[in-house]
Amino acid sequence: MAYDEAAAERVRAALKGKRGLVEKKMMGGLVFMKDEAMCCGVSGAALLVRVGKEGYEAALKKAHVRPLEFGGRRPSGFVLVDPPGWKSAAQLDKWIATGLAVAKRAR
């Protein structure tokens, strides 16, 4: 699935100024790597967030959140947040902070 460029721009803007970030096209979407660990991305219009195995079930209980499905699999530790779940800048910042924190622990 291609990614929504407007959604990608919002994520880029939220990540602006953070060190050690690399943007890569991957899995038909766009992902952001922090010090070589995936933290977040965009798939279609959804925000892809690394929540970790310990945060996976809690994240799925939140509104507008669903499992990431890739090749018929659901990798635990990653979720998709549909646009209403990251409509505000504060919501987006919170999701990105989660992804950055989990990526930091993953290294």
For the chain, domains (ranges, CATH) are 5-106 (3.30.1460.30)
pLDDT digits (tens, 9 = 90+) for 47-86: 999 999 999 999 999 999 999 987 888 988 999 999 999 9
Q: What's the pLDDT at 28?
A: 80
User: What CA–CA distance (Å, rounded) separates 80 from 67?
Assistant: 6
Instruction: Tell me how crowded residue 62 is: count the other CB atoms within 10 A of its CB.
Output: 12
pLDDT at 1 over 70: no
User: What CA–CA distance (Å, rounded) separates 79 from 55?
Assistant: 10
pLDDT digits (tens, 9 = 90+) for 13-51: 999 999 989 999 987 899 999 999 999 999 999 999 999
Mean pLDDT of 93-97: 97
